Amino acid sequence: MSLIKADLAEILKKQYFFKFKANIDVFSSLVGLQLLAVLFSLGGGMYTGYYGGGMDISMKLYSADMVILFTMIWALITSVTITTKPYRNYEFTFVTNRISSSLSNILFLLTISLLAGFTSMLSANLIHVLVYFFIDSGMLIYEQHMQDIITGVISTSLYIFLFCSFGYLFGAFIQVHKVFSGLIPVGIIGLLLFDGMKLNSTIAMFYFNEPSLFMFFIKTIILAGIAFAVAILILRNMEVKR
Amino acid sequence: MGVIECREVSKKYLRKKALNQLSFTIEENKITGLIGRNGAGKTTLLKLLSGFIKPTSGKIKIFSEKPFDNLTVSVNSILIDDQMAFPTALNLGDILVAASKFYPNWDSKLAEGLLNYFSFKTYQYHNRLSKGQKSTFNMIVGLSSHCPLTMFDEPTTGMDEAVRKDFYRALLKDYIAYPRTILISSHHLEEIEHILEDVLLIKNGECILHQSITDLKEMMIAIQGKKEEVSSLLLNHDVISEQMIGTDYMQKVIKRHEISEDSILSARRSGLEINAVSPSQACLYLTQERKGGIDDVFN
């Protein structure tokens, strides 16, 4: 039987498409979670009232923020899940090495981030329509341009992708030792509380208040890249323990 | 040039040595049986060969490449065991389609034929199968992949008698049609000896024998007869095993080359019974700890 020389690109492609089939549950959980978030969003937020001169104006903001938040949590959980033992093991049933496994995981996460960013942006429309027909048929002020939607989708996807990279790194640490599954969340929350949310606001300023989409893109890709690179280095020497 | 080359390979798990300075070479297109007692290191060796784990020391070459984290070795080899993991979202049909995409030599006709023969349905899920069915399905994946290096680790776990026989027959037929290097680990040598060419026997992580099955068949003889006669005949021989039969009779096992043809002939004439020792018995003698048997525990 003749030997076949392995081609990394070819195998990456196969793994990438295989992962969509194998991780089909990821999509159903996304749909379920986003629908739940839409339901929660119908309550609205940011209530502003104005009374005076014989007029009573009240404004309520209905947005997809809740959906985006839920989607980020979903991204975190999904990326941790695909680093766990059963998910890594079934790749070794077929053809893989550690690098191709991680690279195809990253491509998969990037794709689902784009998809999730797209659906969570569109969910804003669903929320508005639902509110208008079923809850609050007052005056609906609604303005959205194509450009806003595109910017929204890209930036939301980038946030989700960033969370995927954190999740992947977190998952890689857990694979080294289970103790990290508790240590890291406690450490992060502790750190935030310890310095009175100062670090928190610096990070927020750096990432969440970036006016230029391009700069934001660069920053996100660099940070996600670092997280993925560290995760790859960690997972590289991982032995397969069935 | 062998397909598998191991030079002084050791593997430690924490403090326990699973493999100890193991060296051997396996030639292309041979069926080799990997035989050893529980905990001898069979599974560890197979995992090392598939590149799942790294050796603590020593060199392993599969197709002249290091197996750990090696894509070429991964494409060209497959390890079948009862721990094989498949995505729970895929049914058996989907799994076979996925495997056909990953393994370039995949034989869809064989996979379909075996699937039907063992009455699996493509819509079944792997995690719902019984133990024996899982082993059977894994075996189908292993055979159909036609990997140049195919390894089976205790492939018949949980299979019933009929399926086991079918499996060995299928393996042999497919091997004849598509010769490739096959390694099968098992405790039941008598079950697989008819399909093996070579036997690799390991004990406590060390290779104690690597030779053809025909040599192993002729390796030992058992001499049975009156206690005094047997003892006097084998006074100066290295006895591998001895066993009392009743009070007057006994059986001793020695290596064949230890005794000349003439003495065998004269022993036969004087009423001693001389029999060949089966390969599985021979392996048992080679791997047993010398001091006593299970009976000693209760005495």
Tell me how crowded residue A201 is: count the other CB atoms within 10 A of its CB.
12
Separation of alpha carbons B167 and B139, rounded Å = 8
* Chain A residues within an 8 Å CB radius of B134: none
Q: What is the pLDDT of residue A26?
A: 93
Domain coordinates in residue numbering, chain B: 4-216, 220-276
* Chain B residues within an 8 Å CB radius of A26: none
Tokens standing for residue B137:
């399905």
The single-letter DSSP state of residue A237 is T
Q: What is the pLDDT of residue A209?
A: 73
Please check whether residue B56 touches A, CB under 8 A: no
With CB atoms and an 8 Å threshold, state whether B75 touches A14.
no
pLDDT digits (tens, 9 = 90+) for A11-52: 999 999 999 999 999 999 999 999 999 998 887 776 777 777
**Identity at B225, one-letter amino acid code:** G
* Chain B residues within an 8 Å CB radius of A18: 98, 101-102
With CB atoms and an 8 Å threshold, state whether A97 touches B74.
yes
Domain coordinates in residue numbering, chain A: 8-133+140-176+210-236
With CB atoms and an 8 Å threshold, state whether B53 touches A25.
no
Please check whether residue A12 touches B, CB under 8 A: no
Separation of alpha carbons B6 and A142, rounded Å = 71
User: Given B94, B101, B148, which is nearest A14 (Cβ)?
Assistant: B101
Three-state SS sequence of A152-192: HHHHHHHHHHHHHHHHHHHHHHHHHCCCHHHHHHHHHHHHH
Tokens standing for residue A169:
């790194």
With CB atoms and an 8 Å threshold, state whether B103 touches A3.
no
Residue A141, SS3 per DSSP: coil
Please check whether residue A28 touches B, CB under 8 A: no
* Chain B residues within an 8 Å CB radius of A23: 87, 89
Among A62, A61, A78, A170, smallest CA distance to A116 is for A78
Separation of alpha carbons A56 and A48, rounded Å = 11
Q: What is the pLDDT of residue B114?
A: 95
Cβ(A95)–Cβ(A11) below 8 Å: yes
Q: Which of A97, A101, A103 is the best substitution to test chain B (most B C-beta atoms within 10 A)?
A: A97
Separation of alpha carbons B250 and B229, rounded Å = 9
CA nearest A238 in B: which residue?
B53
Separation of alpha carbons A156 and A147, rounded Å = 14
* Chain A residues within an 8 Å CB radius of B126: none
User: Given B76, B146, B179, which is nearest A3 (Cβ)?
Assistant: B76
User: What distance in Å separates residue A143's CA from the closest CA in chain B?
Assistant: 42
The single-letter DSSP state of residue A195 is T
pLDDT digits (tens, 9 = 90+) for A110-148: 999 999 999 998 898 888 888 888 877 676 766 778 888
* Chain A residues within an 8 Å CB radius of B99: 94
Half-sphere exposure of A17 (CA within 13 A, CB side): 11
B 64-103 → A contacts, CB under 8 A: 69-72, 74-76, 81, 83-87, 89-90, 94, 98-99, 101-103
Cβ(B98)–Cβ(A18) below 8 Å: yes
Non-local CB neighbours of B51 within 8 Å, separated by 6+ positions: A97, B62, B66, B67, B68, B69, B70, B73, B74, B77
pLDDT (average), residues A196-224:
79
Please check whether residue A6 touches B, CB under 8 A: yes
pLDDT (average), residues A214-234:
92
CATH number of B220-276: 3.30.70
The single-letter DSSP state of residue A55 is E
Residue A61, SS3 per DSSP: strand
The single-letter DSSP state of residue A134 is I
More reliable by pLDDT, A73 or A59: A73
pLDDT (average), residues A145-157:
88
Low-confidence ranges of chain B (pLDDT < 70): 1, 290-293, 295, 299
B 111-130 → A contacts, CB under 8 A: none
Please check whether residue A222 touches B, CB under 8 A: no
Non-local CB neighbours of B74 within 8 Å, separated by 6+ positions: A6, A92, A95, A96, A97, B50, B51
pTM: 0.88
- In A23-145, alpha helices (H): 24-41, 65-81, 85-93, 98-130
Q: Which of B3, B69, B176 is the best substitution to test chain A (most A C-beta atoms within 10 A)?
A: B69
Whether A222 has a pLDDT exceeding 90, the answer reads yes
**Identity at A226, one-letter amino acid code:** I
Given the cut 0.95, state whether the ipTM is greater than it: no
The single-letter DSSP state of residue A1 is -
DSSP chain B: --SEEEEEEEEEETTEEEEEEEEEEE-TT-EEEEE--TTSSHHHHHHHHTTSS--SEEEEEETTB--TT-HHHHHHEEEE-TT----TTSBHHHHHHHHHHH-TT--HHHHHHHHHHTT--TT-BGGGS-HHHHHHHHHHHHHHT--SEEEEESTTTT--HHHHHHHHHHHHHHHHHS--EEEEEES-HHHHTTT-SEEEEEETTEEEEEEEHHHHHTTEEEEEEEHHHHHHHTTTS--SEEEEETTTEEEEEEEGGGS-HHHHHHHHHTT-EEEEPPHHHHHHHHHS-SS--THHHH-
Could you please state the CATH topology (level 3) that the domain comprising B4-216 is classified under. Answer: Rossmann fold (3.40.50)
* Chain B residues within an 8 Å CB radius of A235: none
With CB atoms and an 8 Å threshold, state whether B69 touches A99.
yes
CA nearest B148 in A: which residue?
A1
Whether A168 has a pLDDT exceeding 90, the answer reads yes
Q: Which of B71, B81, B94, B182 is the best substitution to test chain A (most A C-beta atoms within 10 A)?
A: B71
Separation of alpha carbons A160 and A113, rounded Å = 6
Q: What is the pLDDT of residue A206?
A: 73
pLDDT digits (tens, 9 = 90+) for A169-183: 999 999 988 898 889
Q: What is the pLDDT of residue B110?
A: 95
Tokens standing for residue A81:
């899940």
For the four alpha carbons of A70, A86, B142 and B148, in that order, the dihedral sign comes to positive
* Chain B residues within an 8 Å CB radius of A4: 72, 75-76, 104-105
